[in-house]
Amino acid sequence: MVAANQKLTNFFGDQELTFSIERFGVDGQEWIARCNQAPGLTTGGVMYDEKMIQDQIKDAILTAAGVDGEYDSIVSRNISLVSNITASVSRPELKVA
């Protein structure tokens, strides 16, 4: 847990990550989310579902930070969709366990 916290601290720095979400395809059900602070950090899906978007963004952040998926609860509580085109990811409050 300590290593995961340190990797996420290093990855986030002192910033909040925001993702711009673009919808496309039939009925706008396909989507891609791009991080505004790190454009190479992207994810997407084929169903426009809030839970799926949050899960995909969380997974993309963990992968980019080099953190194992078992620590997903560190990030998941800090993701919110603030509109249908932007997701905000607050810097996690990291605690040493």
11-33 per-position pLDDT tens digit:
777 777 888 888 888 888 889 99
Closest C-alpha to 81, from 25, 30, 21, 37: 21
**pTM for the predicted model, two decimal places:** 0.74
pLDDT at position 96: 45
pLDDT tens, 42-97?
Answer: 999 998 888 888 888 888 888 888 888 776 676 655 666 665 556 666 655 545 44
Domains in the chain: boundaries: 2-89
Look at residue 43 and give its three-state secondary structure.
strand
